[in-house]
Amino acid sequence: MVRDVESHAAEDRKRREQIDTKNLADSAAYQAEKQLRDLGDRVSAADKSRVEGLVKDLREAINQENYDQMKSVPYLLTFANKYFLLHRGHVGVIHSTSCHGRTDRHSQIQTGV
């Protein structure tokens, strides 16, 4: 009995981590969509497009159960949400950057616009 518990402990921890990752990803996508709706036209079309692209990537990762991608995208969306909250009257520009050596939709928000 004890051996069974021990043998499944690693599996249980991994599954718990996957559930937490998926919940965080879903929450980040929801918050980003909500921020875009709340800010409306105060967000430039380019910024809106980039954030929507990140949300789309994240939703696809959730549907495909790609936990590595789910771990990377919420950080960027959370950063974007915090930036938008701090700059509601002056929403800045999201500039493309390299992520893990490749340039893609994943973006970094630059202050000082």
Domain spans, the chain:
2-109
29 class by beta-carbon count within 10 Å (0-12 exposed, 13-18 middle, 19+ buried): buried
State the pLDDT at residue 88: 59
DSSP state for residue 41 in the 8-state scheme = G
Condensed to tens digits (0 to 9), the pLDDT of residues 13-61 reads: 999 999 999 998 998 889 888 888 888 888 888 888 888 988 999 999 9
Give dist(CA 106, CA 102) in Å, integer. 10
Give dist(CA 2, CA 25) in Å, integer. 34
- Helix, strand or coil, per DSSP, at residue 35: helix
* The two structure tokens encoding residue 107: 């973006």
